[in-house]
Amino acid sequence: TANRHLLLPKTCPPDPKWEFPRERLTIEQVLGEGEFGRVLRAKAIDIGGIAGATTVAVKTLKENACASELADLLSEYQLLKEAQHPNVIRLLGACTTPGAPVYLIIEFAEFGSLRNYLRRSRHLESGIRSDGCSSLSNVIVCEAEGTRPVYTVTPRDILSFAWQISKGMAYLADIKLVHRDLAARNVLLAAEKVCKISDFGLTRDVYEDDAYLKRSKGRVPVKWMAPESLADHVYTSKSDVWSFGVLLWELVTLGASPYPGVDVHNLYNLLKAGYRMERPANCSQQLYKLMTSCWHQEPGMRPSFKELVNHWEKMLEDSV
Ligand code: ACK
């Protein structure tokens, strides 16, 4: 049948610690779709130690997905089991029994992806103000039914997002996980504006010498990739730091697309020649300096996520 690939191979036994009975899950709506994946909103009964119904997100595959996408989803499942940090999306369970699609049940982030949140905030009257305050920052603006709520984004929010993402990434680096696809689209925003690093589909455990040699496959997030990843498929926590620099640029521009007008095929040569994105209009020199330090040609010269956490903490203290 068309979706036979979505079924789990019979050789993969369910993990009793995480297996969740399908009959306690009610799918409510589609939150979003990628090329091969789909994210659903659902209600789960008695999940993660919470009695009664909890709103959750369910990751699954589309009918056109094949074995390698299933492998990515299952690898994400394995990695999420290990990751426990307030700024990393939490796994709540999984449905992997044969004969039906694989579901990963993850915590629901009410504001959706950080990229979309930033872009929605642009349409609000009081966007970023130079004084850092926003009189409307506590006003919730609901768009049409079914869409997500929007708040304004203040300069302090930008610092807080950068700080939270750095903390989550420092944790992942600590447990030797390289994300490989860090971007604003892969960070979710939960209640209280808490950032959650998500989309571990491309993530790999680091083994042996720090670097992971990527198998040749699939679509690559070229504009977020470090030169050494583009040239040699080398991925380390330092290449994640490069991607974080691009994410910072996305934060400051409220979700703009990086390297506007640059053809991805020319990017590597431009970067090698020393070209970097210029300082966005509303970006402080201090922030731009941090951003460009993440884009050091030499991976070893880029800051670590731990160092970045310290920088954000200083800047947050100075901004009160
Ligand atoms: O910005 P969005 O509405 O939020 O569009 C994307 C879409 O699914 C495709 O990824 C949303 N999404 C993904 N994971 C979650 C989650 N855990 N909680 C809430 N929304 C999610 C995301």
The DSSP H or E segment spanning 47 is: strand 37-47
39 φ, ψ (degrees, to nearest 5):
-115, 130
Answer whether 116 contacts ligand 1 (Cβ < 6 A).
yes
CA of 39 to the centre of ligand 1 (A): 7
CA of 113 to the centre of ligand 1 (A): 6
Q: Which residues are part of the catalytic machinery? A: 181
- For residue 143, the model assigns a pLDDT of 47
What ipTM is given for this predicted complex? Answer: 0.98
Contact between 179 and 101 (Cβ < 8 Å): no
Distance from C-alpha of 59 to C-alpha of 218, rounded to nearest angstrom: 19
- For residue 129, the model assigns a pLDDT of 40
For the segment 6-25, the average pLDDT, to the nearest whole number, is 78
Residue 175: pLDDT over 80: yes
Protein residue with least CA distance to atom 9, ligand 1: 32
Average pLDDT, the chain: 86
Distance from C-alpha of 254 to C-alpha of 153, rounded to nearest angstrom: 8
Q: Is the four-CA dihedral 227, 229, 233, 236 of positive or negative sign?
A: positive
Distance from C-alpha of 192 to C-alpha of 169, rounded to nearest angstrom: 20
Distance from C-alpha of 42 to C-alpha of 62, rounded to nearest angstrom: 17
Answer whether 92 contacts ligand 1 (Cβ < 6 A).
no
Largest Cα span, the chain: 60
- For residue 204, the model assigns a pLDDT of 59
Q: Per-residue confidence at 138, pLDDT binned at 50, 70, 90?
A: very low
Q: Which residue has the higher pLDDT, 269 or 218?
A: 269
Contact between 93 and 22 (Cβ < 8 Å): no
pLDDT, tens digit (0-9, with 9 covering 90-100), for 269-292: 999 999 999 999 999 999 999 999
pLDDT, tens digit (0-9, with 9 covering 90-100), for 54-111: 999 999 998 888 888 888 899 899 999 999 999 999 999 999 998 899 999 999 999 9
- For residue 189, the model assigns a pLDDT of 96
CA of 128 to the centre of ligand 1 (A): 24
For the segment 36-46, the average pLDDT, to the nearest whole number, is 95
Q: Per-residue confidence at 202, pLDDT binned at 50, 70, 90?
A: low
For the segment 214-220, the average pLDDT, to the nearest whole number, is 54
Among 90, 103, 112, CA closest to 31: 112
- β-pair type (25-33, 37-47): antiparallel
pTM across the whole model: 0.88
- For residue 293, the model assigns a pLDDT of 98
- For residue 101, the model assigns a pLDDT of 93
Protein residue with least CA distance to atom 19, ligand 1: 109
Q: What letters, b where the CB count within 10 A reaches 16 and e where it falls short, cover 248-259?
A: bbbbbbbbbebb
Residue 194: pLDDT over 70: yes
Contact between 9 and 97 (Cβ < 8 Å): no
Answer whether 112 contacts ligand 1 (Cβ < 6 A).
yes
- For residue 116, the model assigns a pLDDT of 93
Protein residue with least CA distance to atom 20, ligand 1: 112
Protein residue with least CA distance to atom 4, ligand 1: 112
Strand partners, 42: 27, 56
Q: Quick one: tokens of 304?
A: 């670590």
Answer whether 188 contacts ligand 1 (Cβ < 6 A).
yes
